[in-house]
Amino acid sequence: MADVEQNAAVPDGSSTGSDAVNGTAGRFVSSAEGTALAYGSLLLMALLPIFFGALRSVGCSKSKVTDSYLETLQMKECAKTMHVKIFSQEYINLLLSMYFFVLGVLALSHTMSPFMCRVFPANVPNKQYQLLFTQGSGEGKEEIVNYEFDTKDLICLGISSVVGVWYVLKKHWIANNLFGLAFALNGVELLHLNNVSTGCILLGGLFVYDVFWVFGTNVMVTVAKSFEAPIKLVFPQDLLEKGLDASNFAMLGLGDIVIPGIFIALLLRFDVSLKKNTRTYFYTSFLAYIFGLGLTIFVMHTFKHAQPALLYLVPACIGFPVLLALFKGELTEMFSYESSDEVLPHTPRLTHFPTVSGSPASLANSMQSFGLSTPRRRRHTPSDIYEESSPEEASSKEEITESDKDK
């Protein structure tokens, strides 16, 4: 997932790439059609990863996913503060290019995987592969990397690598958006909030954080314009005039998609837990997100100033579902819902936020978010053994337990 600190939506005339860095880009007055196309495209691109990521988060929670695939954010993690260290812009851009090349290829490959499963020819053999690195020998032998994949995964990795090379060499806005959409969808799918209270704390804290760094300083806008990394979605306002070589962009940070998105996905899982065959809270929060982002774009366009999108998204995404639950008399049930219990009983807890710092630890944590971290050997508990046993063995063990209790 990309850095959640990139939350500022930037208005007309902003540029990315070398022109923006060197300060040589001239002021471009976009046409009404170009502006409408840019803002509408940003809105659509923001909705796609939230909608499909939320649906895939439900499938992810129901499937037998490995422990390293899923991360659950708890209350204590959401109260921690994120820090950014600013170094030379050239070194940062170089580091981010390599960093996001690896992560982008993996994220885009994971995003394409369900589609590839559907279109993969049945007559082509799907061979299984395993990448295994171990440390030591004998009884002290320990697995460092144990990654299993098949032919379909190799095809997805190949296609994603082409996009990655395109992005590194050209920094084209389409390649940037492909990586950005993949990061956002994977973030919504794989990052799970454990309850609504945690979501409210997370969104509320980042609400204050976002407002301060956009209105209180110019750090957010400067970073969003200067650093060449797929941590934002961009769309040119001069596309109609210059075509694919357009360079004047409106932009939206991935944090404005992922942070509300994981809350909306939580409400979808809450809908599923009610077993009423309705998606009332999901659709309500989804429409609230559209309203909040639309209001952000309206204010941004009216005042010609970058806006903290969470200023409008957080009240909408929290307020509308809470009011609905209050009206339906399900407010207590909503806040008592625990997603982590229904998802995976043995899901590991996220000990800190994934950050974009370029350190080996942050790289490993980000790779873990996309399911490529080192598989940890699961310690079997008595309940696990019962689950893995046959019905006859489980019943016999229950009889033994009952006899022990009688003794």
User: Using one digit for the tens of pLDDT, what is the confidence trace for 24-41?
Assistant: 334 556 788 888 999 999
The label of the residue with tokens 């170009």 reads: 34
Residue % of the chain over a pLDDT of 70: 67
User: Quick check: helix, strand or coil at residue 279?
Assistant: coil
CA dihedral 247, 249, 252, 254 (to 10 degrees): 0
Looking at residue 379, its pLDDT comes to 43
Active site residue 341: no
Q: What is the mean pLDDT of the chain?
A: 75
Burial (CB < 10 A; 0-12, 13-18, 19+), residue 327, is: exposed
Give mean pLDDT, residues 89-118. 84
User: Is pLDDT at 319 greater than 90 in this prediction?
Assistant: yes
User: Is pLDDT at 79 greater than 80 in this prediction?
Assistant: no
Looking at residue 122, its pLDDT comes to 82
Identify which has the larger pLDDT, 282 or 247.
282
Looking at residue 73, its pLDDT comes to 54
Residue in 3, 12, 153, 210 annotated catalytic: 210
Span 294-309, pLDDT tens digits: 999 999 888 888 888 9
Span 144-166, pLDDT tens digits: 888 888 888 899 999 999 999 99
Element (H, E) at 135: strand 128-135
Q: Is 124 left (phi over 0), alpha (psi -120 to 50) or beta?
A: beta
Nearest to 335 by CA among 156, 158, 201, 236: 201
Q: Is the dihedral of CA 204, 209, 211, 212 positive or negative?
A: positive
Looking at residue 224, its pLDDT comes to 67
Q: Is the dihedral of CA 318, 107, 96, 132 positive or negative?
A: positive
Give mean pLDDT, residues 181-203. 91
Strands 142-150 and 249-253, bridge-based pairing: unpaired
Give mean pLDDT, residues 164-172. 89
Residue in 3, 153, 256, 271 annotated catalytic: 256
Q: Is the dihedral of CA 293, 299, 304, 309 positive or negative?
A: negative
Identify which has the larger pLDDT, 279 or 81.
279
User: Is pLDDT at 378 greater than 50 in this prediction?
Assistant: no
Of the pLDDT bands very low, low, confident and very high (cuts 50, 70, 90), residue 380 is: very low
Give mean pLDDT, residues 360-387. 44
C-alpha triplet 370, 374, 376: angle, nearest 5°: 115
- Do 133 and 266 contact (CB within 8 A), yes or no? no
Looking at residue 286, its pLDDT comes to 96
pTM of structure: 0.69
Identify which has the larger pLDDT, 88 or 170.
170
Looking at residue 148, its pLDDT comes to 83
- Mean pLDDT check: name the lowest of 92-106, 182-196, 261-275: 92-106
User: Is pLDDT at 12 greater than 80 in this prediction?
Assistant: no
- Mean pLDDT check: name the lowest of 205-209, 319-323, 369-373: 369-373
Residue 290: CB atoms within 10 Å: 15
> What is the full DSSP assignment across 136-169?
S-GGG-EEEEEEEEEHHHHHHHHHHHHHHHHHHH
Give mean pLDDT, residues 276-299. 93
Please state, in angstroms and rounded to a whole number, the distance separating the CA atoms of residues 172 and 255.
21
Identify which has the larger pLDDT, 53 or 399.
53
Identify which has the larger pLDDT, 312 or 374.
312
Helix ranges, 239-377 (H): 239-242, 255-274, 280-303, 310-328, 331-336, 339-343, 360-369
Looking at residue 241, its pLDDT comes to 85
C-alpha triplet 5, 185, 245: angle, nearest 5°: 75
Q: Is the dihedral of CA 211, 212, 213, 215 positive or negative?
A: positive
User: Is pLDDT at 400 greater than 50 in this prediction?
Assistant: no
Q: Is the dihedral of CA 71, 75, 264, 354 positive or negative?
A: negative
- Do 4 and 82 contact (CB within 8 A), yes or no? yes
Please state, in angstroms and rounded to a whole number, the distance separating the CA atoms of residues 183 and 206.
19
Active site residue 256: yes
Identify which has the larger pLDDT, 293 or 27.
293
Nearest to 213 by CA among 81, 28, 362: 81
Please state, in angstroms and rounded to a whole number, the distance separating the CA atoms of residues 164 and 184.
16
- Do 332 and 316 contact (CB within 8 A), yes or no? no
Looking at residue 125, its pLDDT comes to 86
Centroid of chain to Cα 151: 26
Alpha-carbon distances of 183 from 178, 358, 384, rounded to whole Å: 9, 17, 33
Please state, in angstroms and rounded to a whole number, the distance separating the CA atoms of residues 232 and 42.
10
Where is mean pLDDT largest: 216-225, 238-247, 264-273, 359-368?
264-273
